[in-house]
Amino acid sequence: MATSMNKLKSLLLLHGQTVRFISKAQCRDLLRRQCVGKRCSSTNVTQATGDRYDLLGAVCLERKPIIVQKKTEIEEKYNTMIRQIENEHSLLSDHELRHKEDLLYAEKSKEDDFEETEIDGTRQTALDREDIWESEAKAFITADTITEADKTDDRRSIERKLDEKLILIVKQKLGNTEKWILPQSSWVSGESMRETANRALKSSCGEEIEPVFYGNAPCGFYKYNYPKTVDKETRGSKIFFFKAKYKEGEVTINKDNVIDYLWVTKTELIDYLNRDYYRSVDQFILDL
């Protein structure tokens, strides 16, 4: 017991605590915790050594909608209700007040003693302005929201689905296989994961393309294990996804590791991505 007490005193002094008299049960409990902690630390080191993963950074590059998105049924109903409420509780506009003045002037002009001035003869009524606005509206030609890329289903063009969000995906060489994925690259010591994601985009899709990253924190994560036939020291890969907005530039793929690229909508992603990979990506792509 004397040996145990000496160990305990050394432990307490090591942590800067005052040595006080404690019971035998408390002594045994503290020593047991110390031994268990050592065993756990040893086990964790062994597990960490056997479960090493390659780290990769990937970018989810989004082209935002160019035109207003079509309203859903509930949005249409809400919009109609709000307009009705505003119409019932709003004050008269300048145009409506002008129309009331025109009606009063028309009634006054019917009187026998009414004398029309030169200014009154050239005045423009509210109805005259409505006729002008109507003719301007008829002459206005709206731009076609269906582009040539939509008509030909050219998914390499960024000029498609103007009312929807588009996501850039690439067909990349992964070992002996080719997979549709978000642009990705292996992490290099000394750079942040966001820098890795930016390098992945530039190295696979060209230097011309300009992204705007949403911060330095990843928005998603995906992990997979390598097949047993692959002879590597690491067990698999851990991919950290970063979201970015497309600013400008043309995609010019690096043919050394990228075969093809596409701009697809969120609903089209499932046609290209691996199912498990898609589940991870779908969690951070919003329908906005």
- Give the CATH fold of the 53-67+149-282 domain: Nucleoside Triphosphate Pyrophosphohydrolase (3.90.79)
**How much of the chain, in percent, has pLDDT values that exceed 90?**
54
pLDDT at 121 over 60: yes
Q: Which of 208, 213, 223 is nearest to 253 (CA)?
A: 208
How does residue 125 score in pLDDT terms, banded at 50, 70 and 90? confident
Which tokens is 95 given? 């145009």
Per-residue pLDDT at 17: 47
How far CA 227 is from CA of 44, 175, 222, 241, in Å, comes to 24, 11, 16, 23
**Which of the listed ranges 40-44, 107-111, 141-145, 259-263 does the model predict with the highest average pLDDT?**
259-263
pLDDT tens sequence across 220-264: 999 998 888 777 788 889 999 999 999 999 999 998 889 999 999
How far CA 270 is from CA of 21, 41, 136, 264, 281, in Å, comes to 67, 42, 45, 10, 10
> Considering just the CA atoms, what is the radius of gyration of the chain in Å?
35
Q: Where are the alpha helices (DSSP H) in 15-93?
A: 24-50, 73-89
Domain boundaries, the chain: 2-50, 53-67+149-282
Mean pLDDT of the chain: 83
Per-residue pLDDT at 32: 64
Which tokens is 209 given? 């393309």
pLDDT tens sequence across 126-152: 888 899 999 999 999 888 889 999 999
- Local structure of 161: helix, strand or coil: coil
Residues 6+ apart with CB under 8 A from 163: 65, 66, 67, 68, 69, 70, 145
How does residue 79 score in pLDDT terms, banded at 50, 70 and 90? very high
